[in-house]
Amino acid sequence: MKTILKSLLSSGLLFSISTPTFAEIKTGYFIDSPVTGLYYQTSSQLSGTTNKGAFEYRSGDVVRFFLGNDDSGYLLSTLSGQEVVTPTLATTTPSKSINLTRLLLSLDSTPNNREEITLASKMLSDVSFQQQLKKIDLNILDHSAAALNMELVSVKEAVQHLNQSQKYIEQNFTSDNIIYRPLNKRFEHTTIKKKDWQGRVCVYDIKYQHHPKFRPSFGNIEYEVSLSHLTQYPSSGDYFNGCRLNPSNSVEKIKEPISEFDGFGGLIGCSTTGCTRNDLNGFSLDNYNDAGDWKYRTIAMNFDPETELFMEKAQGLGPNEHIKHQNRSEKITFTYPKEKEKHIPFEGIWRQTQYQDNTIHTTCLLIKDGSVFKGPNETRSCSLKRDDYQLDVSKEYADMWWIKNKTKSARLVQMNLLIRWYLNGNQAQHTSWEYLPAGKNWHQGILYRYRQTLQVQPDGTEELHTFSISEFSKI
């Protein structure tokens, strides 16, 4: 039981539904240090520019944040409105969280004062800079940002800054208010390996997904906490050999006294008392000796009260004086109530905005009955008439492997994997999918498709190079 649950401790666009205009206006804060100069837009039609982090929203809102003067700027994130928004909350990818901070710090017009980030508005207003900005992949910022012609803040500085920002949040947003009660809820706890300790990326090869010996790069645990016990239900487990799930650690039903888990963080730690915002949100830099196994990594956790999604992200920061191996492991964990398990409905009309080379191209697509159909080219907005979608382009979107699901909806894990797929049946391709749920029903987020090449480096680590980025918003 202890070995299975250690992971719980160590991992520690269209706005089609509007919020009623009579709802109370609240103030939230974008904190990476308080950020001034981000443009924001909510699903209840509130908009403006953050001032010392502050933005306005209403309960139930979905909020989009842009680098630029309006919504034509670079879209940073789409997420549920809440009191505190951070770079770690704004994405499902560990490295992207840190790189988002690197980008914001690099665009700070007052670099000598990191207690606040004031974005360089003149640079962000430049049309050519915006064109280059929209082509970067924040997952691999160093390779994709060369065209920005700017000096980037280091990973080390960004991690230290996030650590300081967490202290600022704890000092300024401490509250005893209970925002969530996990007691007697059955949770799905899914872990996705992004990289192994050697820095090799974890790829899900869809060719072998139904092979009896295939071991995926994700696993799960189901559990429930009562006042007296923690019960773990039969599940695949979440222990890995490198990138592959270790089937020998699958879980049987186990019930143990809740006292055995004193000191645990996250949802387990506050299950019996109710959870405050600070119980479920945080960022820390680990650098310590764990019984002979030195830890040098970042740990981030975030909770969205609207979606009820709890995220935990861990990222190894490379070698140091105590660690001689690559130390590049990355993983993300999603935890949410099993009784209201979320699947993202994908059938319908989607607007795709693709950034590739020096072009921005918009396409309207219909996903129906396991196929993808393209709409008319010459149009400002996507037609809502399904008869206008006649051209079958399914082969070009074979990486949308989840559209074959019989449920006509995709699991969250499926939309957050790096997959290997095959163009025309035999040409190996790589796509990283990313989807951060927004809104109560999880359907108001933006789906990202990163077309990539995989390259092995001289030190044995692997790197992804992005040549095309697409944003999909459902109409």
For the stretch 129-168, pLDDT in tens is 998 999 899 998 988 787 788 899 999 999 999 999 999 9
- Residues near 385 by beta carbon (within 8 Å), at least 6 away in sequence: none
Could you write out the three-class secondary structure of 140-179? HHHHHCHHHCCCCCCHHHHHHHHHHHHHHHHHHCCCCCCC
Rounded percentage of the chain residues whose pLDDT exceeds 70? 95
Give the model's pLDDT for residue 22.
59
Give the model's pLDDT for residue 403.
96
**Cα–Cα distances in Å, from 171 out to 40, 167, 168, 243, 360?**
25, 6, 5, 38, 43
pLDDT tens digits, residue range 234-293?
Answer: 999 999 999 999 999 999 999 999 999 988 889 999 999 999 999 999 999 999 998 889
Q: In whole angstroms, what is the distance from residue 324 CA to residue 189 CA?
A: 31
Whether residue 1 is predicted with pLDDT greater than 70 in this model: the reply is no
Sequence-ordered alpha helix ranges (H) in 15-59 = none
- The residue-averaged pLDDT of 303-307 equals 95
Total count of residues recorded for the chain: 475
Contact between 463 and 330 (Cβ < 8 Å): no
Q: Residue 190 has which token pair?
A: 């899914």
pLDDT tens digits, residue range 423-442?
Answer: 887 899 999 999 999 998 89
Neighbour tally for 127: CB within 10 Å:
7
**Cα–Cα distances in Å, from 110 out to 325, 333, 363?**
37, 35, 39
Give the model's pLDDT for residue 339.
83
pLDDT tens digits, residue range 378-426?
Answer: 677 899 999 999 999 999 999 999 999 999 999 999 999 999 999 887 8
pLDDT tens digits, residue range 350-380?
Answer: 999 999 887 889 999 999 999 999 998 767 7
Whether residue 15 is predicted with pLDDT greater than 60 in this model: the reply is no
DSSP 301-318: EEEETTTTEEEEEEEE--
Residue (of 344, 5, 413, 341) closest to 187 by Cα position: 341
Pairing of strands 348-356, 359-368: antiparallel
Residue 259: φ, ψ to 5°: -65, -25
